[in-house]
């Protein structure tokens, strides 16, 4: 029985490289057989108030400001992630490595995943074959050619499995998980544009972490030199859970919002704001950089130092943030929550939990370390740099209190039992919980599949 929702990764070979794209499978926190269970939302986790504060956990650390990895070690960590093909390296040569036949298989696998499922639209109607026929024709699969280009996302975009805004649900009355939603792409995110729909309204794009269809109006073509520019100049990293972007230095003319971990070229550092550049499309359709403004309390120059104090502080900035399946409504799910935190240190983690636990140092793997879990949990876990995976979910370990191990994680809910009846309890946010939190007699600890440390060496 599953607790949580996240994505699965499917690997594809692109000229001898494996590209992992986010592909939604059966991923409800409560297994699909539980869709018909009644829902309750009047339950509250009983926690002492201080447990929900970062300072409480920081105060328990012996050396909260000790550097875990320096900048060179972080680069080495990121190289290892890339070497394992857990992300797509967007470099000058990547376009030549993308084979059309592999691309066709990837696009069709996403389409077939939805086509073979019994799904309902937002009008509570069963999706008919006529809808899929129209989508298939628009995919324009036989027109995939060798023309591919670099580009930028110019406004927050939902990345879809098929070129359609239609929301598709497993259950006619359970509309929390749009199976057509693959990921969310923020303004300024670099992509590779590899195909266009028949009606020209959609582009199939590959980002560093995922693939899917994005509205053409939300993308601008660019040269590789534009993509690489942010690595050669000064930049800021967003450290707020969400940060507003403005047209003016007085910060009164709101444009849009961006999320934790995103990088932007900086051109000015002032008392209350940074001047930054975001890619946009001019009247001729070409990329240009627009100067905009962000509050300096929402970002830092360069990356944050990778220390436990900062990791916990960043995680708790997202406390109570709504859960967002595949970044729906520009929110985050469990693996995006983890990814955003570590991006503020320049650490590149994959988008999916099953890939995230292939990074760093593995401390526990259920298949290999049977019988060792309790000893590892009680003696080896390090707060702030330990990620814990259970089937379909991932959490950040934050410390021990009163002989209980605690985590912070973004989760949709769990099942509870009342009067011998089972209910779906909706939490739907980032929350602190003990590992003893259970589902029908099985705790989070009981379900642990893998434990990893985000590091390349020892840290004591």
Domains identified in the chain, total number: 2
Q: What is the pLDDT of residue 15?
A: 41
Range of the domain at 248: 235-301
Closest CA to 326 of 120, 22, 34, 84: 22
Burial degree of 115 (CB within 10 A; 0-12, 13-18, 19+): middle
- Is residue 165 situated within a structural domain? no
The answer to whether residues 405 and 268 belong to one domain is no
Q: What are the φ/ψ torsions at residue 21 (nearest 5 degrees)?
A: -110, 155
The answer to whether residues 365 and 240 belong to one domain is no
The answer to whether residues 239 and 365 belong to one domain is no
Q: What is the pLDDT of residue 102?
A: 95
Supply the mean pLDDT for the chain. Answer: 89
Digit-coded pLDDT (tens) for 437-452: 876 667 899 999 999 9
CATH of the domain at 364: 3.90.1720.10
The answer to whether residues 394 and 446 belong to one domain is yes
Closest CA to 354 of 7, 53, 83: 7
Q: What is the pLDDT of residue 42?
A: 52
Digit-coded pLDDT (tens) for 66-125: 999 999 999 999 999 999 999 999 999 999 999 999 999 999 999 999 999 999 998 889
The answer to whether residues 322 and 288 belong to one domain is no
Q: How far apart are CA 225 and CA 109, in angstroms?
A: 32
Digit-coded pLDDT (tens) for 101-111: 999 999 999 99
pTM of the predicted model over 0.85: yes
> Quick one: how far is CA 235 from the chain centroid?
22
- Is residue 122 situated within a structural domain? no
The answer to whether residues 260 and 347 belong to one domain is no
Digit-coded pLDDT (tens) for 368-415: 776 788 889 888 999 999 999 999 999 999 999 999 999 999 998 877
């Amino acid at each position: 029985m599953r607790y949580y929702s996240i994505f699965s990764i499917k690997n594809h070979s692109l000229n001898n490289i494996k590209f992992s794209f986010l592909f939604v499978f059966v991923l409800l926190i409560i297994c699909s057989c539980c869709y018909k269970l009644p829902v309750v939302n009047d339950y509250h986790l009983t926690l002492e108030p201080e447990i929900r504060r970062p300072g409480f956990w920081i105060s328990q650390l012996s050396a909260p400001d000790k550097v875990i990895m320096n900048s060179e070690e972080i680069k080495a960590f990121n190289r290892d992630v890339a070497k394992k093909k857990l992300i797509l390296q967007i470099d000058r040569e990547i376009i030549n490595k993308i084979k059309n036949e592999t691309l066709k298989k990837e696009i069709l696998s996403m389409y077939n995943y939805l086509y073979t499922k019994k799904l309902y639209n937002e009008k509570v109607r069963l999706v008919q074959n006529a809808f899929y026929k129209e989508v298939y024709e628009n995919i324009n699969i036989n027109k995939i050619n060798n023309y591919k280009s670099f580009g930028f996302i110019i406004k927050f975009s939902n990345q879809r499995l098929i070129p359609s805004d239609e929301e598709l649900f497993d259950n006619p009355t359970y509309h929390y998980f749009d199976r057509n939603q693959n990921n969310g792409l923020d303004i300024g995110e670099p992509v590779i544009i590899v195909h266009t729909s028949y009606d020209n309204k959609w582009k199939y794009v590959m980002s560093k972490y995922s693939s899917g269809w994005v509205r053409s109006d939300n993308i601008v073509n660019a040269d590789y030199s534009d993509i690489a520019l942010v690595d050669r100049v000064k930049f800021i990293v967003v450290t707020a859970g969400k940060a507003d972007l403005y047209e003016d230095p007085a910060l009164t003319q709101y444009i849009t919002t961006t999320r934790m971990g995103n990088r932007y070229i900086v051109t000015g550092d002032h008392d209350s704001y940074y001047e930054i550049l975001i890619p946009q499309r001019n009247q001729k359709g070409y990329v240009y950089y627009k100067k905009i403004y962000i509050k300096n309390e929402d970002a830092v120059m360069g990356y944050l130092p990778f220390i436990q104090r900062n990791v916990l502080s960043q995680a708790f900035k997202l406390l109570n943030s709504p859960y967002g399946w595949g970044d729906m409504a520009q929110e985050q799910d469990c693996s995006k929550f983890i990814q955003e935190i570590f991006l503020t240190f320049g650490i590149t983690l994959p988008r999916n939990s099953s890939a995230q636990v292939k990074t760093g140092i593995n401390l526990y793997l259920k298949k290999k370390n049977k019988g060792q879990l309790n000893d590892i949990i009680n003696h080896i876990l390090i707060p702030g740099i330990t990620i814990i995976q259970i089937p379909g979910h991932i959490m950040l370990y934050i410390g021990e209190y009163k002989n209980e191990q605690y985590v912070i994680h973004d989760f949709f809910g769990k099942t509870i039992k009342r009067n011998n009846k089972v209910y779906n309890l909706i939490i739907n946010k980032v929350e602190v919980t003990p590992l003893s939190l259970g589902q029908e007699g099985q705790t989070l600890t009981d379900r642990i599949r893998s434990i990893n440390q985000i590091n390349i060496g020892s840290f004591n």
